[in-house]
Amino acid sequence: MFFVDRMLGKLAKKLRLLGFDTVYSSHMCEEEIMQLCKETGRILITKDRELLRKAVEQGIRCLYVASDDWRQQLVELSKKIDLKSSKRMSRCSLCNVELINANEEEIKKKVPFYVQQTCKDFYLCPACGRVYWAGSHVEHAEETFRRLGL
């Protein structure tokens, strides 16, 4: 869905939490970025006006953000595209990989005991092994999204 340009790392994580397939790279050069967007049809999100100009010339769909703050960046984006997704909190914010149900062993190993007592739904990132559950940082992110009108 998206390719997020460098300097927008926080925005990339939030887009993943919102459920969007988001590739982020801080080290790819402009040519590599544009090549990847062309090959995969990803929408380029950038703060870099020069890159924006070049990408538009090459027919790549782009979204420009002006703000330095990820919250405002999300608001800017939501005015241009629909950020309401039914797949919220279904993706690892670090790896961009879809989460799967965590098994009992993983839960015992990685979730604090008091959380095991109070929550019943746990999700595992098959790439990095991180376990997610409602009530953790995920709830905090949800609250922020709500306040932003997302």
Q: What does the binding site for Zn ion look like in residue numbers (CB under 5 A)?
A: 92, 94-95, 125, 127-128
46 or 93: CB nearest Zn ion: 93
Q: Supply 45's token pair.
A: 């999100």
Q: Nearest approach, Cβ of 58 to Zn ion (angstroms)?
A: 32
Question: Which sign does the torsion angle of CA 56, 22, 148, 68 carry?
Answer: negative
Residue type, 44: L
Q: Nearest approach, Cβ of 124 to Zn ion (angstroms)?
A: 9
44 or 132: CB nearest Zn ion: 132
47 or 91: CB nearest Zn ion: 91
1 or 94: CB nearest Zn ion: 94
On whether the CB atoms of residues 8 and 24 are closer than 8 A, the answer is yes
For helices 9-17 and 70-80, give the axis angle rounded to 10 degrees: 60
56 or 127: CB nearest Zn ion: 127
Q: Nearest approach, Cβ of 92 to Zn ion (angstroms)?
A: 3
- Other CB atoms within a 10 A radius of the CB of residue 45 amount to 25
Q: What is d(CA 34, CA 28) in angstroms, rounded to the nearest whole number?
A: 10
Question: Which residues are CB-neighbours of 50 under 8 A, at least 6 positions away?
Answer: none
Q: Nearest approach, Cβ of 82 to Zn ion (angstroms)?
A: 25
Q: Nearest approach, Cβ of 97 to Zn ion (angstroms)?
A: 6
Please provide the DSSP assignment of 91-104 as one string: B-TTT--B-EEPPH
